[in-house]
Amino acid sequence: MEIQRVGILWNPEKAGGLAVAKRLTEALERRGVSVRLDKALAAHLGRASARDFSGCDLLAVLGGDGTLLSAMDIAIPLDLPMLGINLGRLGFLSEVEPENLERDLDRLLMGEGTLEERMLLQIEGEDADRMVALNEISIMRRGQSIGILSLELEIDGVVIDRISGDGLIVATATGSTAYSLSAGGPIVSPGLDCFVLTPVCPHTMNARPVVAGADTRIVVRVLGDPSSTHAVLDGRRTLALGARRPGISIVKAEKKARFLRLNQRNYFDLLRRKLSQWTH
């Protein structure tokens, strides 16, 4: 993979991130790679900001996993691979640690990187570039609404359960270690394309997580008044439900998120290390 132009996105809320972003910008330029900077970073470095990131070969994202999720709004429409530079705590999706920045850039420019693709979820009938999720789509109560939420879950036209509780998480394998894990869902290797369906605080004894194939169609309907319910995509975008839209259909998206990898990683070793960090 030849890299001649790199777009750089920076999360200004991450402590110490500006110094890393400056190092990255200067290191790329010393190596003959042109850069395009987002508006916030360009302002801090006294440079011109990019009008867009079209024509880039790569999108370097400085932040945590949440920053990478937000960067998909740029990367997915342009089909750009992302390189995560970890300024966060867990960094499941990131690849480069700041202390290894220059070394890893050299490896990248020597052609050592490989592309890893991850499945995306999409809400049928909505914008295929924006209404997608890498981790999960959750159907939850919104605002200050209280009470039990009752949902009907259908897979490929067959109703498999009616769930009463706080909601339902429809996750990818990537998202199985995010919100779904906190709700008691299984850990699934990210190389698998599947849906992980995890009830949130169910009020019935028989409600259990379900794993379904990626070629299925998941329909979730609100039983009762849907006006205080919404779908939440990766914790960053919402779609309100109501009388005209009492449910949603979730399918595997045609596009995929692409991440540039430099290191051989054992997923379960990474999982053990990252989750043990989170407990301290």
Residue found by looking up tokens 């599947």 in the block? 194
Orientation angle between helical segments 101-109 and 17-30, nearest 10 degrees = 40
> Per the annotation, does 165 bind a ligand?
no
Going by their DSSP bridges, the two strands 132-133 and 114-123 should be labelled as antiparallel
Structure tokens at 252: 């595997």
> Per the annotation, does 266 bind a ligand?
no
Structure tokens at 21: 């972003």
> Per the annotation, does 41 bind a ligand?
no
- Which run of H or of E encompasses 169? strand 167-171
Number of H helices, E strands in the chain: 6, 16
* 65 counts as catalytic: yes
Cβ atoms within 10 Å, residue 33: 18
Say whether 14 sits in a helix, a strand or coil: coil
Going by their DSSP bridges, the two strands 158-165 and 149-155 should be labelled as antiparallel
> Per the annotation, does 177 bind a ligand?
yes
> Per the annotation, does 129 bind a ligand?
no
Query: Choosing from 65, 104, 161, 234, which is the catalytic residue?
Result: 65
Burial of 268 (0-12, 13-18, 19+ CB in 10 A): exposed
> Per the annotation, does 174 bind a ligand?
no
> Per the annotation, does 65 bind a ligand?
yes
> Per the annotation, does 25 bind a ligand?
no
> Per the annotation, does 135 bind a ligand?
yes
Question: Which residue, among 15, 11, 17, has the nearest Cα to 65 in the 3D structure?
Answer: 11
- On the CB side of 129, CA atoms within 13 Å amount to 9
> Per the annotation, does 114 bind a ligand?
no
> Per the annotation, does 228 bind a ligand?
no
Distance CA 20, CA 53 (A): 20
- The residues annotated as belonging to the active site are 65
Binding-site residues for NAD(+) sit at 65-66, 135-136, 166, 177-182
Binding-site residues sit at 65-66, 135-136, 166, 177-182
